Amino acid sequence: MASSTYETWRCCLDKWLLPTLGDLPLSAVDNDPVKVLVAKMVASKELGPKSTNEYIKLVKMIVASAKDPKTRKQLHSVFWDSEYLDLPIVEKRNQKRPAFDSETVTRLVGSATRYVQIVYVLAAASGMRIGEVLGLEIDKHFADNFSTVLVRQKARKCKMENYLKTDNAYRDIDLHSSVVKMLEEFIGSRTSGFLFASRNGKPLSDSNILNRHLHPSLKELGWSDPRTGEGTAGNHAFRRFRNTHLRKNRVPDDLIQWWLGHAGKSMTDEYSQVRDDLKYRKLVAEQVGIGFELPVQTAPVVPNVPKSEFAVAVEVAVNCSEVS
């Protein structure tokens, strides 16, 4: 189980399931008490329809998990009546899935400082999840002179997780030449370590990128909730932007699925060998572009690096400034 899933379920148990159902024997957990739980969730207005439905799925999983040790059959077989439970209907059009447009990405990248600018560029130009971006290591996850990203791990809460969201998330992503150039300038003389690292060499925090940089910038651009003043989009909006850009430019579906790490939708997708044709992939990556404008850099970008490498990075930056 992914750590994020564990934390979500732990919170669900502590806040919702245990206070309402915790004192009941498992055999008594059926439609009647769960209907009461659903009513409490809906009345609280703290959860959306999708979250409510997902939390009730957890109840069903817990009940189904009790099995006879010999026969392995379920001890408590319950017919769950969704209509009786009065579960809220999940309507896709009402789900919040914000995606940035080209102008917004251009302005976010242009106003960002230091390493955050490169984080945004990679997220928007590759479609990687933010944890995948922050989990990149210079000597392990790049190929072909930094023109191909090898997605093999992710960072979460400043810690590494050597597994990805799904099996399809393990993939190689081809970058546009303009992004490669910017990436090489950012890396400079470094040969190892995380692409984005704190001064102690650990991965950066995805929540810090969101709360300290993205949300304040979105607020300045008018992307904020009038009730809370908080930004109305997260890091995932860069990924949706990339997906939309690829579709608008008629990139083959199986190549989009490969670059974004999605499963194929049909047997035809499974038969396709596009993902193995490196030359074709790079040609398409170059032709389709990135869909937003990169800033004209007037000063070198000095990355966060471990203290032992900081002096070297500063020297490289100074030399670059003198040359320019």
What's the start-to-end Cα distance of the chain, in Å?
50
Reported as a single tens digit per residue, the pLDDT across 64-121 is 999 999 999 999 999 999 899 999 988 765 556 788 999 999 999 999 987 899 999 9
Q: What average pLDDT does the segment 34-47 reach?
A: 94
Side by side, the strands of the sheet bearing 148-151 are 142-143, 148-151, 171-174
Q: What average pLDDT does the segment 18-45 reach?
A: 95
For residues 42 and 146, membership in a common domain is answered with no
Reported as a single tens digit per residue, the pLDDT across 13-23 is 999 999 999 99
Specify the pLDDT at position 306: 55
For residues 140 and 87, membership in a common domain is answered with no
- In this predicted structure, the answer to whether residue 215 has a pLDDT above a threshold of 80 is yes
Query: Do strands 159-161 and 154-156 pair parallel, antiparallel, or not at all (unpaired)?
Result: antiparallel
pTM above 0.85, yes or no: no
For position 169, which CATH number holds?
1.10.443.10
Phi-psi region of 296 (alpha: psi -120 to 50; beta: other; left: phi over 0): beta
Of 50, 68, 94, the position where a domain reaches its end is 94
> What are the beta bridge partners of residue 17?
none
Q: What average pLDDT does the segment 264-279 reach?
A: 77
**How many folded domains does the chain comprise?**
2
Specify the pLDDT at position 224: 67
227, amino acid identity: R
* Host domain of residue 17: 3-94
Per-residue tokens: 206: 């995805």
Q: What average pLDDT does the segment 8-13 reach?
A: 93
Residue 174, H or E segment: strand 171-174
79 CB burial (10 A radius; 0-12, 13-18, 19+): exposed
d(CA 239, CA 235): 8
Of 62, 94, 126, the position where a domain reaches its end is 94
Of 64, 94, 124, the position where a domain reaches its end is 94
